Amino acid sequence: MTALRLHKIGISAMAGTLYFLTSQVSQTYMVEPYGVAAFCWPAAGVSTGFLIALGPGARWPVLSGVIFANVLDNVLWHHVVVGQQLAYVAGNVAEPLIIAGLIDRALGRNFSTRRVNHILGMLAAMVAGVSVVSTFWTVIFKADLSLSAPAFALWENWFASDLIGNVAMAPLVIGIIDAIRKPPPQKELFEAIAAIAVTAAMTGVIIALPQPLWDTVMPGALLFPALLWLSCRCRPVFAAMGAGVIILGIGWMTAFGLGHLGDTNLPIDVRIKQAQAIMLFVAVGAAILAALFAELRQGAAKLGQSNAMLERELDNKLINIQAATASIAHEVRQPLAAIVTSAETGLRFLNIESPDIERTRVILKRIQEDSQRANEVFKSIRSVFSNLDQSRHPIDVNGIILEALSSLRDVLQVHRVAVHTDLAPDLPSVEGHKGQMQEVVLNLVHNAIEAIGTMGSQNGRVQIKTQIHSRDEIVVSVADTGPGIALERMTSIFEAFVTTKSQGMGLGLAICRLIVERHGGQLVATSDGKTGALFQFFLPVPPKN
Amino acid sequence: VKKRQLIAIIDDDRPFRIALLELVRQLGFDARAFASADDFVAVDDQAFDCVVTDIQMPGMSGFDLVRMLKSRDQPIPVILITALAEPQLETKAASLGVVCCLRKPFLPHDLIECLEKALGH
């Protein structure tokens, strides 16, 4: 409880501090002709970013920080009446609430700056939230101050100022929070810092450009390469930082009368409009570009992964027909050897002076059984391989386990193995092939029974457990009280068709692993080599739509 | 009357173990069967005249058993049987001083020859 409270206080302090610092930068943009607003308000994006990144749970910590920073900012800068201060605070609190609320409702808690449709959704939510709050302020200020400025001009300025702030800062804040949770590799960090430095330098060059060059040299041409580099090579947070640098530069140009946007021949409202247009285009462009490239990179990474998997499969002995044939042959040779040997014995019983018909009958019966056993080998192989390309359906893993256990009831009884199940009642279904999954469960439980069998003890135990491992993964665990697996055998047990089994089908763990991997999962074994083995397979849960 | 020779049969594959036990008995030997080399070692009172064993088994392997038996004062002749397809098994078996190495499924005639060789008939 105390830790949670501390955590909330920390969030509040962080959000408040960042909001306050940003608002102090924004105060330098206080050059709009009516003197009631900064023409760009990045602080708005700080609160929105925090709310989107941390979710509704962090609502009050974030907003209390924002309120505190607002009050402090008002005390420091505005000497306006209390009513107006209240209106500002109310608007600054309502805006991120509306935006984050809309995003939460439309996109759920999976918002990502790496997805183009999420970025577009975020922009729409921002336009809506900012419109509402700008209208609110316009009404209040017009009524309260009786400003001479036309209502639409006031509204327009607030709208542009907060929209730029949101679009520029929210992705940055979301990205920073994400980067704290999952830090980027050092290489990406250095690369991004270098590219941001280039962006800053280029922004400086633009500020210094003499008037004629503004018409002849597209400033975009100078900024575009570095920004493109950031979007293309680094995660979205760095593109947002690059955009932030440009926006800061453009803002100061306008505010401090530098370069083209400081041209006093142009009326201030025209310069502000120009600056706002550039800022908005840069912020929106950077966010969309970053998301586009993030999607591309994700696709490329997935492709690389599946390519590596394909290569591994190719290398794997499993795909090596020779190895497969050898191990299938191994499985078939067992019953075949028994058949040949029994046949010889049978012949000898018949070849003696008074043929032993009764014993020969028993032997012939055994030959029949062994022939059946040889046939089973091929049947099992066919059942595994013939279905590999079939379509996927939602499957209930708990159900599969229960079915497998009921089909193994006799075997379990004969070996006197007790089974304990601990199946998660709310286990989500996975996409896959039921028959193959059944094969995996049957194989693992069978292995466990046999491992216990080698101990010769009468009270072995198999424990089967299903759990939700993470939001998008479930895990099935099969633990036994057998002798365990020696460390040196840990890797070879997954090699194609390796088996030390005497009974039944030894297609074994290689097939299990193949099936689990084809379902996008992973099969792992752990053992101390003494007190049993634990096999676990992880399966991805398809995203809900 | 000369005592009948006692042969140990070790294989983890139960149907084959039983088939081999019956054949060897039918051939006129005494025989006992074991599901693993460890089981054999546990009861071995050095009364066996020959050991016929599988190579790949849970626990002690056929090769491990050969090495163990070789270190005794009076080594017991061993016949190895395997379902493995590895090409070098015969060479390895020979280097360990094994009498024969048979691949499953083998002809009964070959086993009889090996037994005769092992028992010095």
Q: What percent of chain A has pLDDT over 90?
A: 30
Question: Distance of CA A506 to CAs A374, A377, B85, Å?
Answer: 12, 8, 16
Q: Residue B34: beta bridge partners? A: B10
Q: Write out pLDDT tens, residues A229-281.
A: 888 888 899 999 999 998 888 888 888 888 777 777 778 777 888 888 888 88
Q: Which of A247, A245, A239 is nearest to A297 (CA)?
A: A239
CB contact under 8 A, A341 and B16: yes
The minimum CA-CA distance between B73 and chain A, rounded to whole Å, is 31
> Per mean pLDDT, which range of A23-37, A73-87, A147-161, A214-228 is the poorest?
A214-228
Nearest to B100 by CA among B64, B62, B57, B73: B62
pLDDT reported for residue A172: 93
pLDDT confidence bin for A498, thresholds 50/70/90: very low
Choose the closest CB to A345 out of B26, B35, B81.
Answer: B26
Whether residues B26 and A335 touch (CB distance < 8 A) is answered with no
Inter-residue contact A230 to A191 (CB < 8 Å): no
Chain A 461-500, CB below 8 Å of chain B: which residues?
500
Closest CA to A61 of A96, A111, A109: A96
| B19/A345 Cβ within 8 A | yes
Q: Which of residues 66-95 of B touch A (CB under 8 A)?
A: 81, 83-85
Q: Determine the Cα–Cα distance for residues B110 and B17; give it in Å rounded to an integer.
A: 17
**A358 interaction partners in chain B (CB closer than 8 Å):** none
ipTM: 0.89
To test the contact with chain B by mutation, choose from A320, A328, A330, A333 the residue with the greatest count of B C-beta atoms within 10 A, namely: A333
**Predicted pLDDT of residue A340:** 95
Q: Is B107 on the interface with A (CB under 8 A)?
A: yes
- Tell me which H or E stretch contains A463: strand A460-470
- β-strands A473-480, A533-540: how paired? antiparallel
Contact assignment for B108 to A349 by CB distance below 8 Å: no
Is residue A464 predicted with pLDDT exceeding 90? Answer: yes
Q: Is A144 on the interface with B (CB under 8 A)?
A: no
Residue-level pLDDT at A221: 67
pLDDT band at B81 (very low <50, low <70, confident <90, very high): very high
Hey, which residues 333-392 in chain A have their CB within 8 Å of chain B? 333-342, 344-345, 348-349, 363, 366, 369-370, 373
What is the dihedral sign for C-alpha A132, A134, A137, A138? negative
HSE (side-chain half, CA atoms, 13 Å) at B37:
21
Q: Cα–Cα distance between A95 and A92 in angstroms, integer?
A: 6
Tokens of A95: 């805006």
Contacts of A336 in chain B (CB under 8 A): 104-105
In angstroms, how far is CA A316 from the centroid of its own chain?
Answer: 29
The predicted model gives A90-98 an average pLDDT of 94
Question: Taking chain A, what is the end-to-end CA distance rounded to the nearest angstrom?
Answer: 35
CB-based contact B22 A363, cutoff 8 Å: yes
- Separation of alpha carbons B28 and B24, rounded Å: 7
Which of A325, A334, A367 should we substitute to test contact with B (largest number of B Cβ atoms within 10 Å)?
Answer: A334
Residue A474 has pLDDT above 60, yes or no: yes
Partners of residue A326 in chain B, C-beta under 8 Å:
85
| A:B CB pairs within 8 Å | 81
pLDDT in tens, B12-27: 888 999 999 999 999 9
pLDDT-based confidence at A465, cuts 50/70/90?
very high
Mean pLDDT value across residues A287-306:
86
- Supply the mean pLDDT for chain B: 88
Arithmetic mean of pLDDT, A441-460: 80
Nearest CA in chain B to A351: B26
- The residue with greater pLDDT, A507 or B38, is B38
- Is 90 exceeded by the pLDDT of residue A97? yes
Q: For residue range A104-141, list pLDDT tens digits in order.
A: 998 877 888 888 889 999 999 999 999 999 999 988 88
Residues of chain A with Cβ-Cβ distance to B12 below 8 Å are: 500, 502
- Write the pLDDT tens digit of every residue in A330-378: 888 989 999 999 999 999 999 988 888 999 999 999 999 999 888 877 8
Q: Does the beta-carbon distance from B26 to A341 stay under 8 Å?
A: no
- Interface probe for A, chosen from B10, B22, B79, B106 (most Cβ of A below 10 Å), is B22
- Contact yes or no for B19 and A366 at CB 8 A: yes
**Taking CA atoms, what residue in A is nearest to B22?**
A345
Q: How confident is the model at residue A503 (pLDDT cuts 50, 70, 90)?
A: very low
Give the pLDDT mean for B47-61. Answer: 88
- Is it the case that residue A545 has pLDDT exceeding 80? no
CB atoms within 10 A of CB A437: 24
**Mean pLDDT, rounded, of chain A:** 83
Report which of residues A147 and B56 the model is more confident about.
B56
Q: Please, which pLDDT band fits residue A81 given cuts at 50, 70 and 90?
A: low
Question: Please, where are the H alpha helices in A316-396?
Answer: 321-351, 357-385
Does residue A490 surpass a pLDDT of 80? no
Give A461→chain B minimum CA distance, Å.
19
- Give the distance from residue A425's alpha carbon to the nearest chain B alpha carbon, in angstroms: 37
pLDDT of residue A504: 37
Which residues of chain A neighbour B13 with C-beta distances below 8 Å? 334, 338, 502-503
Does A457 contact B at CB distance below 8 Å? no
Nearest CA in chain A to B19: A342
Determine the distance in angstroms separating the CA of A499 from the nearest CA of chain B, rounded to an integer: 9
> Among A146-150, A257-261, A484-488, whose mean pLDDT is lowest?
A146-150
Which amino acid is present at A417?
V
Q: Which residues contact B79 (CB under 8 A, 6 or more apart)?
A: B50, B51, B52, B53, B98, B99, B100, B101, B102, B111, B114, B115, B118
Q: Is the peptide bond before B105 cis (omega within 30 degrees of 0)?
A: yes
What pLDDT shows up at residue A265? 79
Query: Taking residues A410-421, what's their average pLDDT?
Result: 83
Cβ–Cβ of A342/B23 closer than 8 Å? yes
Distance from CA of A387 to the nearest CA of B (A): 28
Query: Which of A68-82, A204-218, A266-280 has the largest mean confidence?
Result: A266-280
